[in-house]
């Protein structure tokens, strides 16, 4: 699972540059195309296989309706619950509408469809669910007998173009056993989730438009607020947490006035990004205009100056259009959009101005997110090509010449996480920063740092059968920290290695192979240099 600020952005940058202007560097362009071709060959056609929950039926009467989940090993699960009306037909590219009521008892054993997407073979949280536009459903796990427990709402990653809440790696039963109610959900992906066009802007008439995926997330949180008490959850104690694009979504929700009061704590895993998002409409050099991207996509689909109805008449296959993590189609897809309503400002700017939700904040990254991957040279080229000569020279003083691969991780993940932590901590908000750098014992001979999304199996407690006692102890530890934070706003508890609160001493928790301990000024000089580079970049 990757962030819109990592592989996807880097390939796009290597192809066309930050603002979509053509690049002339043929080696980088050809390398990107060769990589896409290889991945296309590797992507196997896996038959759709719907996932269901096992166990004995258990009934819950919620405001939304009566649901029959399944109870197994002390945890009760409920899957495939529609939280809004399917965004199909005339509801495509509209704000989510309330889900229709159902009569009698709705079976909640089967997970819903995944949203339309192009899957990749190296997804850390794979899913084989059928796909379709009717995909906006959520899932709930609770301990049997739950009463007013803290709620954790998971937002999956996938670069905003892929991902699923039905992945077995993200099964919420193990986390629920720790004394929380766990919720996960699907949201619209790709152009279904983020799309702007002058015809849609005019139709919206100043109401939220373009960020349909973010509006789905807000609708899911509203559903939780209205219904979660029936499942034993406390609607006043909701923690949103997500990884990669899901972590970026957490920051977007913190910056959105439409999400105020829907959560009380926030966790961002490998998702803090300083790279600017698209604007709804912009002619400013260096800024991406989402409306222009929408017009370009419509033209590529054979529509010149279409109205909203003509856009909605496109087939789902045409809208998806092969968009994927390794083919982000710069110039025709923008990702999240600063629309001025749902998202009034880029999260970096909103946090800097103090306009974010003031809630306890836990943020961090993994030790070797992408620097050890086969496509690291392409990522490095994409990063360095967007820098001024002065900025590149500054980085080379601490990363060497050519820069060490760690620059990839620090530029895309580590320094942005520290930057957001500094902004929240400066206003007295309880803030906790981490680096997860634990590698499974069986993998240490071939890998020297924790890769992107590698923490998820540990966090959710869904390690493979081959996991060692040390692996399982790390899983226990990270699960304890995360659920403690959801319960109290502080990850610490007796018996755990102390996690220092982030402050001017620049302290974080390093979760490594040999120890888990607080550390000050992690990669300090290098991160300081990256911070200077970002400060010099136009926004």
Residues marked as catalytic: 244, 369, 452
The whole-angstrom separation of Cα 3 and Cα 413 is 9
Exposure on the CB side of residue 188, measured as CA atoms within 13 A: 32
The whole-angstrom separation of Cα 165 and Cα 119 is 14
Q: Among 104, 59, 106, which residue's Cα sits nearest to residue 81?
A: 106
φ/ψ (deg, to 5) at 352: -65, -30
Angle between helices 524-536 and 389-399 (to 10 degrees): 180
Q: Would you state the structure tokens that stand for residue 397, as one six-digit string?
A: 């003083």
Beta bridge pairs of residue 518: 509
CB atoms under 10 Å from CB of 88, counted, come to 14
The whole-angstrom separation of Cα 346 and Cα 258 is 15
Concatenated DSSP letters of 135-198: --EEEEEEETT--SEEEEEEE--STTTS--S--GGG--HHHHTTT-EEEEE----HHHHB---H
* Burial readout 140-151 (b: 16 or more C-beta within 10 A, e: otherwise): bbbbeebeebbb
Q: Among 177, 152, 139, which residue's Cα sits nearest to residue 238?
A: 152
Strands (E), 457-528: 507-511, 516-520
Q: Among 431, 453, 381, which residue's Cα sits nearest to residue 254?
A: 431
φ/ψ (deg, to 5) at 238: -115, 120
Is residue 20 within 8 A of residue 330, CB to CB? The reply is yes
Residues in the chain: 539
């Amino acid at each position: 699972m990757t962030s819109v600020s990592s592989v996807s952005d880097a390939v796009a940058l290597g192809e066309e540059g930050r603002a979509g202007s053509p690049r002339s560097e043929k080696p980088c362009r050809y390398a990107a195309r060769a990589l896409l071709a290889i991945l296309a060959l590797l992507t196997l056609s896996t038959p759709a296989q719907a996932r269901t929950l096992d166990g004995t039926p258990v009934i819950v009467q919620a405001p939304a309706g009566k649901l029959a989940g399944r109870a197994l090993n002390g945890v009760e699960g409920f899957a495939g619950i529609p939280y809004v009306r399917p965004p199909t037909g005339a509801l495509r590219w509209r704000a989510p509408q309330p889900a229709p009521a159902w009569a009698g008892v709705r079976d909640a054993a089967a997970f819903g469809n995944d949203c339309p997407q192009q899957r990749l073979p190296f997804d850390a949280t794979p899913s084989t669910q059928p796909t379709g536009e009717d995909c906006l459903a959520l899932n709930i796990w609770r301990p049997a007998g739950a009463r007013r427990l803290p709620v954790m709402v998971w937002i999956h990653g996938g670069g905003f173009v892929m991902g699923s809440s039905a992945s077995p790696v993200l099964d919420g039963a193990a986390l629920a056993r720790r004394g929380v109610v766990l919720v996960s959900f699907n949201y619209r992906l790709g152009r279904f989730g983020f799309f702007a066009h002058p015809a849609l802007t005019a139709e919206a008439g100043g109401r939220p438009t373009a960020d349909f995926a973010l509006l789905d997330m807000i609708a899911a949180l509203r559903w939780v607020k209205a219904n979660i008490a029936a499942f034993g959850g406390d609607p006043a104690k909701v923690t949103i947490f997500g990884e990669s694009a899901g972590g970026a979504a957490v920051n977007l929700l913190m910056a959105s006035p439409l999400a105020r009061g829907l959560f009380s704590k926030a966790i961002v895993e490998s998702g803090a990004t300083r790279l600017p998002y698209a604007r709804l409409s912009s002619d400013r050099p260096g800024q991406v205009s989402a409306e222009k991207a929408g017009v370009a996509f419509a033209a590529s689909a054979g529509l010149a100056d279409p109205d909203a109805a003509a856009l909605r008449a496109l087939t789902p296959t045409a809208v998806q259009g092969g968009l994927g993590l390794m083919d982000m189609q710069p110039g025709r897809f923008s990702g999240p959009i600063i629309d001025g309503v749902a998202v009034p400002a880029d999260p970096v700017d909103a946090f800097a101005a103090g306009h974010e939700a003031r809630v306890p904040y836990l943020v961090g990254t993994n030790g070797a997110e992408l620097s050890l991957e086969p496509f690291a040279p392409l990522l490095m080229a994409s990063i360095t090509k967007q820098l001024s000569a002065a900025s590149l020279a500054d980085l080379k003083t601490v990363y060497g010449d050519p820069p060490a691969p760690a620059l990839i991780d620090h530029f895309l993940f580590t320094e942005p996480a520290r930057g957001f932590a500094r902004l929240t901590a400066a206003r007295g908000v309880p803030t906790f920063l981490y680096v997860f750098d634990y590698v499974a014992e069986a993998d240490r001979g071939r890998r020297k740092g924790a890769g992107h999304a590698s923490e998820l199996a540990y966090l959710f407690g869904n390690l493979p059968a081959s996991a060692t006692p040390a692996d399982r102890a790390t899983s226990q530890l990270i699960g304890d920290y995360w659920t403690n934070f959801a319960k109290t706003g502080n990850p610490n508890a007796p018996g755990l290695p102390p996690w220092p609160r982030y402050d001017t001493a620049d302290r974080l928790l390093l979760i490594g192979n040999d120890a888990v301990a607080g550390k000050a000024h992690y990669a300090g000089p290098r991160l300081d240099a990256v911070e200077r580079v970002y400060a010099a970049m136009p926004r």
